[in-house]
Amino acid sequence: MDGPDRGRLSTRPPPHGRTVHPPPNPGLRELVLGSAGRAWVRVPAGADGRSLPLVVALHGAGGRPQGMLTMLAAVADREGLLVLAPQSARTSWDMIQGRYGPDVHLLDAALTQVLEEHAVDPARLAVSGFSDGASYALSLGITNGDLFSHVLAWSPGFVGPVVPHGRPQLFVSHGTRDEVLSVDRCSRRLVPVLEAAGYVVDYHEFGGPHSVPPDVLDRSIRWFLSPAEASSITTAE
């Protein structure tokens, strides 16, 4: 059966979104999740209570949610994105240890609270991540493609065991000079496997190291908000 031990999330948004009155105050706050763990939500400047796109942002190994929130702050305000950033229970996400575990429960609890308290566009609900967070985003996104409409994977290493549900749209980026997760061993092997499985992948290589350059971040967010406008594969040596 599908369940948390297979990476399945149970929370679901209202099918047509909702309007929240009064609108939430812009800014950052920590969610109250008790024993489930810790997560932060950031409301963009100018939020007026209407349904917003939501990006779940997963940090890399040894990273912190604050790094993802800082990285996304400017583009989130510019594009009107709600950002949810959880903290992994260990130094990285549970699937890195070979099986799903407490981080699935954390994400379920955090998403449930955000979807209850904020207006979220169900057609623009993305899970994103960098490095190990990108691997986890792909794993969870494919497993929960009936929840997440999009996956943004910046420099992933692998996809964990998945039981696919739905058909999320995938964005993958990777630096050609990545010294942590080699593009040859990782995305150049991973993307063809995803495409062979029937996924349409917007794959972008850039001439840089293990990072998310500002132009790559902007490209991925534009793709998320207007996927029909970004369907080509580009390479920068």
Q: What pLDDT is recorded for position 233?
A: 40
Query: Does residue 235 sit within a domain?
Result: no
Segment 161-184, tens digit of pLDDT: 888 999 999 999 999 999 999 999
Segment 54-79, tens digit of pLDDT: 999 999 999 999 999 999 999 999 99
Query: How far are the Cα atoms of 15, 23, 50, 77, 176 from residue 45, in angstroms, in the given order?
Result: 25, 11, 13, 5, 35
Three-state secondary structure call for residue 160: coil
Give yes or no for residue 230 having a pLDDT over 60: no
CATH at 94: 3.40.50.1820
Q: What pLDDT is recorded for position 232?
A: 38
How many distinct structural domains can be found in the chain? 1
Q: What pLDDT is recorded for position 162?
A: 86
- 9, 107 in Cβ contact below 8 A? yes
For range 35-62, the mean pLDDT? 93
- Terminal Cα-to-Cα distance of the chain (whole angstroms): 45
Per-residue confidence band for 237, with pLDDT thresholds at 50, 70 and 90: very low
DSSP 37: -
Query: Does residue 103 sit within a domain?
Result: yes
Query: Does residue 37 sit within a domain?
Result: yes
Average pLDDT, the chain: 91
Query: Does residue 46 sit within a domain?
Result: yes
Segment 106-132, tens digit of pLDDT: 999 999 999 989 989 999 999 999 999
Query: Does residue 166 sit within a domain?
Result: yes
Phi then psi for residue 116, to 5 deg, are -80, -30
- Residue 33's domain spans which residues? 4-229
Query: How far are the Cα atoms of 15, 42, 125, 162 from residue 65, in angstroms, in the given order?
Result: 28, 11, 18, 25
